[in-house]
Chains A and B, each alone.
Chain A
Amino acid sequence: MLTIYKNKKDIPSDKEYVELNDLYFNMNTSSLLDERAKSIIEAIDSSEQISKYKIRSRFNGDVLNIDKLSSGCKTVLNVLYNPEKVFCLKECGENALDVLFGFEKGAVYSDYPIIPFDFEKVAVFSDGEIKVIDDYEELKEWWSNAD
């Protein structure tokens, strides 16, 4: 399941933290995309991935470079293809969060709560302890409390 950090100091030193999701996607993740990306791009950006580096715009059908995906979609793809790293969560809209919080692995960071209305369970990490939360209010409380 997705792991959430709320303090940067809790991110293990062997895990890289990535704040600029746009840039990381353009420079790294874009080259890793495979069939798994298609449904995510469709679900979040309502765009069709027509080849590894091309999408069809939801607005006018233009063929665009994949760097035109939204920051939220790029964040979700960054997490999917780089589960060993920790990515900033702050640029995800509700539709991106819905997808992200269903992941079986991956990690994100935000110092304030960003929670979709529906999620099954996530792992939260603070002060060296990890625990599983499956309730919206409990997750909000954990995230809102300063350690």
Chain B
Amino acid sequence: MNLNATLFAQLVVFLILAWFTMKFVWPPIMKALDERASKIADGLAAADKAKSDLAHAEKKASEELRKARESAAEFRSGAERQVAQLIEDARAEGARIVNAAREAAEAEAGAASQRAKEALREHVAALAVAGAERILRKEINAQAHAELLTQLKSEL
């Protein structure tokens, strides 16, 4: 082991190499590392945001679903009510028509029987008159006996 001028040469080389590293090696590597770190941080933040967005969207979707269900139920019950109303109305209308028809029929029947009675009375009165004529062999004056006849008719 001897000491000599190699020492100073080594010193100079040492400083030059360190300078080179400072100038050309260190900054790009640190830059890449820092950039990657910030990229990763951004990525993590984005993932967090996506997660909270997803949770938010899920909540919103279930809310919408619930609303849709509610309105569907409301709609259905409304429709049911309306249908029931329609059925009720139809039933009432039907009953009314049936009643009206029955009343009309009854009225018709009453009138018909009345007319038949009237006709029958007329007929009976005529028969009675004809019978009496034959018995009496004499013409009955319808005019003279109208009162009697009408009385007779109303008694039938």
Please say whether chains A and B are actual partners in one complex: no
| Residues on A facing B (Cβ under 8 Å) | none
